[in-house]
Amino acid sequence: MYIIVAGGGMVGGTLARKLLDNKHDVVLIEPDKNVCDALYARMGVVAICGNATDLDILKDAGIDKCDVFVASTGSDTTNLASAILAKSRDVSQVLVRMRNPEYESAYKVAGVDTTFRVTDLVDRMLMEIEKPKVRKFTTIGSGGADIYVIIVPERANVAGTSVKEITTDSHFPSDCTFIAVYDKEKETFSIPRGDQVINEEDHLYLISSAEHIKQAADFLTVIKSS
């Protein structure tokens, strides 16, 4: 995917590195030239010196061919303005780092797809970018874990296998727990038992931390080789 990250601080820089490691095309926008130079020297990321609220800078970064735009600066006003511009250029997925929860309504009005607070920020952003079929359903307690929904794709490796086979596989994280399965074909919810068989298009509800849900999603959404 072609991804633009606005903000080269700890969050934006770390996210850009992980995205590059995962073989995505990444362009980073950062107003501080020294930071741009340092990021390029350290990881080879294309870093454009400028403000992401400037449409000309966004065009230079390739906003018109962008698949995902991430506003990760430390300023909600900057993130909001750049997100509005990205949406105006028909970017399909816009993610924003939110520092002040009072901006949440403004982000929703702007059409931002997902907002993230500081906890597990980079892992959550990476998961949202790379696994669009994974959605956070709700947060449990003080935020130590969340309930996620994963949709089993057609021709998935796990289709036709049981919950027990999945959860005992060494590649499935032990800290992820199945709590419900929605059978789309039958339009029914069930509490999964060990012998329950998972089917294509099932909606799987799991309790997990952000650091483990991506591994679970990778396992549950792998397509059978032809």
Tell me which of 135 and 221 has the higher pLDDT. 221
Give the chain's mean pLDDT.
Answer: 89
- Residue 130: pLDDT over 90: no
Mean pLDDT across 22-29: 94
Q: What is the pLDDT of residue 26?
A: 96
- pLDDT tens across 131-188, in order? 666 777 777 765 668 888 999 988 999 999 999 999 999 999 998 999 999 988 888 9
Pick among 3.20.20.70, 3.30.70.1450, 1.10.10.10, 3.40.50.1000: CATH of 134-220: 3.30.70.1450
Q: What percent of the chain has pLDDT over 90?
A: 62
Tell me which of 193 and 50 has the higher pLDDT. 50
**Helix pair 10-21, 33-43: axis angle to 10 deg:** 30
Structurally, what CATH architecture does the domain formed by 2-130 represent?
A: 3-Layer(aba) Sandwich (3.40)
Q: What percent of the chain has pLDDT over 70?
A: 92
Q: In the numeric block, which tokens belong to residue 17?
A: 């590195």
Mean pLDDT across 26-51: 95
Report domain extents, the chain: 2-130, 134-220
pLDDT confidence tier of residue 121, bands split at 50, 70 and 90: low
Least confident of 67-76, 96-105, 111-120, 165-174: 111-120
Q: What is the pLDDT of residue 212?
A: 85
Q: What is the pLDDT of residue 131?
A: 64
Sheet (strand 68-71) strand order: 46-49, 25-30, 2-6, 68-71, 93-97, 114-116
Mean pLDDT across 108-115: 86
- Residue 119: pLDDT over 60: no
Sheet (strand 134-140) strand order: 134-140, 145-151, 203-208, 177-183, 188-190
- Residue 79: pLDDT over 90: yes
Mean pLDDT across 71-77: 93
pLDDT confidence tier of residue 54, bands split at 50, 70 and 90: very high
